[in-house]
Structure 1
Amino acid sequence: MAIWHYLKFMTIHLMGLYAVVVITLGQEYIVYGYLLWTIFYIGGDGILGDDTSTPEYKYPKLLTWQLWLALPLLCLITFVFCWHFAPTDIANYGYIVEQLTGYNANAAKSATPWYANLVLCVFVGFVIGVIGTVTGHELIHRLNDKISLTIGRWLLAFSFDANFSIEHVFGHHRHVSTDIDPASAPRGRNVYQHIWRSTIDGNISAWRIEQHRLAKRKQALFSVHNQALRGYAMSVLLVVIVSMLTSWQGLAFFVITALWAKATLEIVNYMEHYGLVRERGTRVQAYHSWNTNKLVSSWSLFNLTRHSHHHAKAQVKYQDLKPYQDAPMMISGYLFTVTIAMIPPLWHKLMIPKLKAWDCEFASEAEKALADKANQQTGMAGYMAMHAS
């Protein structure tokens, strides 16, 4: 098989190194770098179209190593982020950059305007969301691989969300698109409501799942056996390390950035399942998730885009996921759809006809009844009628 099918998933690592360069350059280069990054991902999906290839891989271990590389890369990004806000030249990083390139990185970081630092938080939050959350999401499904599971939880800890590994695998995948799944947004809810609701209810769900697991094993709830407590401790440790490396301003910016990274996860949850319904106890089908096969998104997100197959068969590894071209499709690629989701009036305008089509083409009779009830409760029924065939 062509080596390209392995190398294409290194797009995520190139993005991480690009982020390191942008942070190091400082000043207004941060703003320009973020804009270029946005144009590349949204424009790339729009211009390059879909990737529906399904190659067979002879060396799957190489693909696992690509996932593992995300942890040292995220540590490097976090270090440079801390250096940017630190009053000193941590580990002589700026000096080394100047010796190698001639660029005065220390002077550049001191000259960075406040608005560029805010843009940096948005940018690095997205980067943590991609390198940390997306990669961590893939690894936490590998329950029989302790190394992958541990690395996955640490990656998620950078967005204060190591316990996503509990609720997502043992809660979300069981209850997806039902009324008891915190991550599945019901019709009519806007994304900002969903970020708060899903975060709070998701943590409650993770705690209850872990409480039940420990009770079955007759282990104490408040002990080292509690994975939820260990998850919180992992993020606390990261905060302590950051506070030791940088200034209080840097710590504040890191916390804001990590929370934004967590918010991006909930935005993605929102757009992956918005408005879809499923009767409790019925089998999860491919049509219970919104799908997309956009090329740049697929290469940059380890095929997270093929979400319909992922939920239909959760243990299938990312390289083996199928495009499912007949599944319900998102508005576009991930970054563009995230952007639209953050504009509720536009989001609902574009999603109403998609939900109408889903009700007609995919829903079972029981699901049609659930969908009709949801439409009536949210006041969407009239708008849905406008798109009746």
Structure 2
Amino acid sequence: MNILHYLKYFLFHAIGLFAVLALLAGGAYTTGGLLTVLAIYLLGDAVCGDDTSTPRFKHPWILTVQLWLALPLLALIVFTAVWTVSGGDPLGFGAWASALSGYDVLAAREATAFGHHVAAVILTGLMIGMIGTITAHELTHRTWDPVSMLIGRWLLAFSFDTSFAIEHVYGHHRYVSTREDPATAPRGRNVYFHILASTLKGNLSAWQIEKKRLQRKGHALFGWRNALLRGHLMSALLVLAAWAMGGVVAALFFVACALWGKALLEIVNYMEHYGMVRNPATPVQPRHSWNSNRRISSWTMFNLTRHSHHHAQGEVPYQDLQPFAEAPMMIGGYLTTIIVAMIPPLWHRLMTPKVLAWDRDYATAEERELAAQANARSGIAALQRSL
């Protein structure tokens, strides 16, 4: 096995460490760091093409440990970010970093203007989404592994989204591409409405799933065995830790980063399943998810891009997911598609032809009937004209 196949997934950690340096450097360096990360994804995916390789890994434990390392890495990123808005020097972190680097990070922090702190929120939330949620998505599917589950839930706590470990695995994967799935956006929906709707309905779904589990086991709903309540407590502890570092400002800063990280998850849900239809009584097939094989996104997001295979076989580890080049394809790489989704007129202009092509090329006869109903409800003239 070529060692490069292992190393390519460590690009994820390199980007996280780069974010730490950008946050510590302060000022324009933080904003420059954010722009650099965006450029890596946008330009990298545009220039580097697709990755359709399917290597076999002889030492998969290395890739598992690599996933576990996301927790200390994300903790370092968020600690650094919160430190940048703290009045003192928690744990002497600034003094230590200055002595180690020869660069006065304390002075740089004091000189950082408000606009660069906004960039820090965007960068930190992006890291919470990438290093926290994406890794947790992989780990919380490993329901047989208590270590992976624990690490995954703590990663999700950084975005106030430990409910994801319940609803995604036991709800979303069952109802994906149907009207019963909170994460599947119907045709014509605005992404900003979807963020709110999917968050609310996803938490309600997770509550119902956990309630049924506890009833089945004979446990009380309100108690320490309730994984949803424990998860929200984990997030609350992180807010308290931020408050302990820098008071109300630091706590609010962390909340803003966490909410942005959570919003990113829902934007990704939006673009992965937008407009898909399926009879919930039929098996999930690769055609029921939008796929992408862009190289940089695949390497730095643990093959989350190969979403069509993931939904067809949710138990398959990320390194074994197949590219499924014949599956319906997204607009581009993940960050590119996220940005397009955040501009609703552009999104609908680019996705409407794709949705109509899905109806024509991928849908079964039954699904075409469901698609026709979805088009009628969409409010999009081009979809309604297809009737």
Q: Same fold (TM over 0.5)?
A: yes
CA-CA distance at 1:47 after TM superposition? 0.2
Letter in 1 for 2:340: I
Partner of 1:363 in structure 2?
363
Partner of 1:126 in structure 2?
126
Indicate if the aligned counterparts of 2:224 and 2:230 stay in contact, CA closer than 8 A: yes
Letter in 2 for 1:273: H
User: Is 2:98 the counterpart of 1:95?
Assistant: no
Indicate if the aligned counterparts of 1:16 and 1:127 stay in contact, CA closer than 8 A: yes
Residue 84 of structure 2 aligns to a residue whose secondary structure is helix
CA-CA distance at 1:101 after TM superposition? 2.1
Partner of 1:57 in structure 2?
57
For structure 1, which segment, 331-340 or 96-105, has the greater mean C-alpha deviation from structure 2 after superposition? 96-105
Partner of 2:186 in structure 1?
186
Note the aligned Cα RMSD (angstroms). 1.1
Partner of 1:283 in structure 2?
283
CA-CA distance at 1:386 after TM superposition? 7.1
User: Is 2:383 the counterpart of 1:384?
Assistant: yes
CA-CA distance at 1:97 after TM superposition? 2.1
Q: Distance in 2 between matches of 1:179 and 1:12?
A: 34
Q: Distance in 2 between matches of 1:108 and 1:250?
A: 17
Indicate if the aligned counterparts of 1:85 and 1:247 stay in contact, CA closer than 8 A: no
Q: Distance in 2 between matches of 1:72 and 1:373?
A: 47
Letter in 2 for 1:102: G
Partner of 2:113 in structure 1?
113
CA-CA distance at 1:379 after TM superposition? 3.0
Stretches (4+) displaced over 4 A: 385-388
CA-CA distance at 1:288 after TM superposition? 0.3
Q: Distance in 1 between matches of 2:142 and 2:135?
A: 12
Indicate if the aligned counterparts of 2:166 and 2:210 stay in contact, CA closer than 8 A: yes
Partner of 1:304 in structure 2?
304
Partner of 2:240 in structure 1?
240
Give the TM-score normalised by structure 2. Answer: 0.98
Partner of 2:157 in structure 1?
157
CA-CA distance at 1:387 after TM superposition? 7.9
Indicate if the aligned counterparts of 1:292 and 1:332 stay in contact, CA closer than 8 A: yes
Partner of 2:352 in structure 1?
352
Q: Distance in 1 between matches of 2:325 and 2:274?
A: 19
Q: Distance in 1 between matches of 2:76 and 2:379?
A: 48
Count, aligned residues: 387
Q: Cα gap change, 1:186/1:268 in structure 2, threshold over 3 Å: closer, same or farther?
A: same
Letter in 2 for 1:214: L
Indicate if the aligned counterparts of 2:22 and 2:29 stay in contact, CA closer than 8 A: yes
Spell out, residue by residue over 1:68-125, the C-alpha distance to the aligned partner (whole angstroms, 9 max, x if none). 0000111111111121111112222222222222211001001110011011101110
Q: Cα gap change, 1:386/1:40 in structure 2, threshold over 3 Å: closer, same or farther?
A: farther
Letter in 2 for 1:56: R
Letter in 2 for 1:220: A
Q: How does 1:314-325 map to 2 (within 5 A)?
A: 314-325=314-325
User: Is 2:231 the counterpart of 1:213?
Assistant: no
CA-CA distance at 1:357 after TM superposition? 0.6
Indicate if the aligned counterparts of 2:340 and 2:346 stay in contact, CA closer than 8 A: yes
Q: Distance in 2 between matches of 1:181 and 1:377?
A: 17
Q: Distance in 2 between matches of 1:51 and 1:378?
A: 34
Indicate if the aligned counterparts of 2:160 and 2:259 stay in contact, CA closer than 8 A: yes
Indicate if the aligned counterparts of 2:70 and 2:131 stay in contact, CA closer than 8 A: yes
Indicate if the aligned counterparts of 1:45 and 1:333 stay in contact, CA closer than 8 A: yes
Spell out, residue by residue over 1:16-55, the C-alpha distance to the aligned partner (whole angstroms, 9 max, x if none). 1011000000011111111111111100000000000000
Spell out, residue by residue over 1:189-225, the C-alpha distance to the aligned partner (whole angstroms, 9 max, x if none). 0100000000000000000000001111111000111
Letter in 2 for 1:356: L
Q: Distance in 2 between matches of 1:377 and 1:185?
A: 12
Letter in 2 for 1:359: D
Letter in 1 for 2:377: Q
Q: Distance in 2 between matches of 1:30 and 1:386?
A: 47
- Paired-residue identity, %: 53
For structure 1, which segment, 62-71 or 98-107, has the greater mean C-alpha deviation from structure 2 after superposition? 98-107
Q: Distance in 2 between matches of 1:247 and 1:4?
A: 44
Give the TM-score normalised by structure 1. Answer: 0.98
Spell out, residue by residue over 1:319-373, the C-alpha distance to the aligned partner (whole angstroms, 9 max, x if none). 0000000000000000000000000000000001000110001111111001101
Partner of 2:274 in structure 1?
274
Partner of 2:201 in structure 1?
201
Indicate if the aligned counterparts of 2:128 and 2:158 stay in contact, CA closer than 8 A: yes
Partner of 1:23 in structure 2?
23
Residue 246 of structure 1 aligns to a residue whose secondary structure is helix
Q: Cα gap change, 1:379/1:385 in structure 2, threshold over 3 Å: closer, same or farther?
A: closer
Spell out, residue by residue over 1:264-295, the C-alpha distance to the aligned partner (whole angstroms, 9 max, x if none). 00000000000000012110000000000000
Q: Extract unaligned runs of 5+ from structure 1.
A: none
Residue 87 of structure 1 aligns to a residue whose secondary structure is coil
